[in-house]
Amino acid sequence: MTFFPLPHIENSAKRIRVFHAGVYLVDSQNAKLVWLHERYPTYWFLESELPKEYLKPTQSGNKDTTIYDLTLGEQPQGVITHHHIGKLAGLFTIKFDKVDMWFEEDEEIFVHPKDPYKRVDIIQSKRHVRVEVNGVEVANTTSPKLLFETSLPTRTYIPKVDCHLELLKPSSLKTSCPYKGDASYYHVQTPSGLVENVVWWYPTTVLECVPIKGLVAFYDEKVDVWIDGVKQERPKTHFS
């Protein structure tokens, strides 16, 4: 959730470096955080920092923008967009997933930049949490960890030993979160059928979220949850 009109531009205090195919495309201490939508920001840079020696203009631009392919490595296409008019005039951005590495100062970042207006808090709880899938109990714990993430539903992380592990079937699905890490998934096998990818967990996490490492969370949107004996309404949003 943002509290300002979009697009919104802020100066970043961080040194930002973008590495691809053996070279730094950008090494900037003047980067901008730009919100084009509410979910998260992207990094933009001054046109004076365009790595022109590694770029080739495409035919997909217009009078408002110039779009560039990279001439390095496998030469990914449409990687850089340079704006000429409007609030973003004189700035360019690089598609995050089209280059090899991004660094804030000396730390590599993944997926997309973190939103400085969002935070994640993990709190140990003694609430009694019980989870059913298709009427079958799959988890029952009095030692959950509650994860509070700005603008998202509270997520309950449960020790695996408090789950019916015989019902959890490994999934091939993987997702990544810049705030938490790389998630793996489980299906749940019930007598009425397989419920796919309804459970996720983090085999490893970023430093800030180590307390949830190895614990499992259920999509509350798809399962039935009781907290201290009270059945919960299912959230309408759908984020991990």
> Which tens digit of pLDDT belongs to each residue from 128-141?
999 999 999 999 99
**Position 3 in a domain:** no
Q: Is the pLDDT of residue 228 over 80?
A: yes
In this prediction the pTM is: 0.85
Give backbone dihedrals phi and psi of 147, rounded to 5 degrees, phi first. Answer: -105, 120
**Position 114 in a domain:** no
pLDDT tens-digit profile of 178-208?
A: 999 999 999 999 999 999 999 999 999 999 9
**Position 48 in a domain:** yes
- pLDDT band for position 236 (50/70/90)? confident
- The whole domain housing 64 covers 8-109
**Ordered DSSP codes for 106-131:** TEEE-SSPPPTT--EEEEE----EEE
In whole angstroms, what is the distance from residue 155 CA to residue 149 CA?
A: 8
CATH number, domain with residue 133: 2.170.150.40
- pLDDT band for position 238 (50/70/90)? low
In whole angstroms, what is the distance from residue 171 CA to residue 173 CA?
A: 5
pLDDT tens-digit profile of 12-52?
A: 999 999 999 999 999 999 999 999 998 899 999 999 999 99
Q: Is the pLDDT of residue 61 over 70?
A: no
